[in-house]
Amino acid sequence: MPGFGQILNRIFFWSYERGTWQYDVAVALILVFVLLTPTRWFRDQPQVGLPVNSTQVELLSKSGELEIYKVDARALAPPERTPALSNDLHSALQKASPALSDGRFSIGKIEPIRDASGTVIAYQVEISH
């Protein structure tokens, strides 16, 4: 009779033949793990929109602690609520600017910039440190 270590070794290296009860138990355990694992254990999120780079975030003016940025709307997911938009803008600014990478700034005012047809093409964001 094989020892416990040998059983674990065979399971780990998947050396049981198809159709054996050990193979079936291993497959059942994998299915249980995949189907019953809580989603909160995994925090990966899909990347939405275009990747943020420095050309999509532009510093418009700076006076003391107050800075005003223009953030291209394509860098953000379509906003449904103002807090979500604020969070998305905070993340975009933090990723795009080395000076803001520590995340220690707050967003004061957000103004959409629209084209001739009324579509939001960017946001003017006022931040303070």
- pLDDT value at position 31? 94
- pLDDT value at position 80? 52
Q: Which of 38, 100, 96, 89 is nearest to 65 (CA)?
A: 100
* Strand, coil or helix: 14: coil
Which parts of the chain sit beneath pLDDT 50? 50, 79
- pLDDT value at position 52? 54
16-27 tens-digit pLDDT: 888 888 889 889
- pLDDT value at position 93? 84
Output the six-digit token pair for 106.
């707050």
CA dist 54 and 127 (Å) reads 17
- pLDDT value at position 33? 92
- pLDDT value at position 122? 85
Full-model pTM: 0.43
